[in-house]
Amino acid sequence: MNKIDFSHRLPIKTINADIDSFYGLSTVSGPMLNRPVAAPESIDASCAAMDAKQQRETEIAALIKSAADTARQTKAELCDAVIAMQESLRGQNESNPNRD
């Protein structure tokens, strides 16, 4: 069995080649595979699990992007409010030069 390095994603070319190989299995005649992990049903289940996990990852990535956008917007609003406060204070000091 191959050892898989999970520290990096498999290249999409590798995944697509594996999927193509699986689809090509239906053209093979003769004795079927004797390893349960290599059975078409097992590969179907693995493919469905991969699709579900990929969908969940995509959903989470969208949530993270949305949260980051919201945080950036909130920071910009805070900055605007502080600038308005500073301008207001400067305006008060400039209009009342005798104030110490």
Question: For the segment 29-59, what is each residue's pLDDT rounded down to a tens digit?
Answer: 666 667 788 788 888 899 899 899 999 999 9
Residue ranges per structural domain of the chain:
12-95
For residues 18-31, give the mean pLDDT: 78
**Alpha-carbon span 91 to 15, nearest angstrom:** 64
Q: How confident is the model at residue 63 (pLDDT cuts 50, 70, 90)?
A: very high
Tell me the C-alpha distance between 75 and 77, whole Å: 5
pLDDT(75) > 90: yes
What confidence category does residue 71 fall into, taking pLDDT thresholds of 50, 70 and 90? very high
Residue 96 has pLDDT above 80, yes or no: no
Listed in sequence order, the residues at least 6 apart from 5 whose beta carbon sits closer than 8 Å to its beta carbon are none
pLDDT band at 16 (very low <50, low <70, confident <90, very high): confident
